[in-house]
Amino acid sequence: MTMSIGYAAGAFDLFHVGHLNILRHAKDHCDLLVAGVVSDEMLHEVKGVDPFIPTAERAAIVRDIRFVDHVFIETVPDKMAVWEQVRFTHFFKGDDWRGTEKGLRLEREFAAVGVEVVYFPYTAHTSSTQLRRALESASAETLHDHEQRSESA
């Protein structure tokens, strides 16, 4: 019997229950789970954001989750290039990608090398983007309050 190798990639910045859910579900669908942690540089290049938690620390957090067998640091945005290195049999993604141009392209590219794309429910009520906005808003309010106290002193 062939071992199934799953691959679930993400920034895993501001780790939350949505991240945990995708890793848990992924492990249920493969023998060996590799979590791809997107590097700081690639996050900046592809999404235009800088993570709160550096790559090495995010990788350490993900590595210690019991569902994860190995961690791979992604340094290129091309998932086929990642496949060349990791050789996974299953690629896991949130279902917010299902039916999108990116998702359909991934499905075509991976089908050509025998990789199955599996979608899991996206945790809409908790996202890193929402957490990032809340932190930035709280930081801005704190800075504003500090500036007002300094002006009135």
% of the chain exceeding 90 in pLDDT:
67
Number of neighbouring beta carbons within 10 Å of residue 62: 21
pLDDT in tens, 8-48: 999 999 888 888 989 999 999 999 999 999 999 999 999 89
pLDDT in tens, 130-150: 656 656 776 666 655 656 666
Q: In the structure, what pLDDT confidence band is assigned to residue 111 with cuts at 50, 70 and 90?
A: very high
Give the Cα separation of 124 and 147 in Å (integer).
35
Residue identified by tokens 């199955």 is 116
Give pTM, 2 decimals: 0.82
Which among 7, 12, 16, 80 has a CA at the least distance from the CA of 43? 12
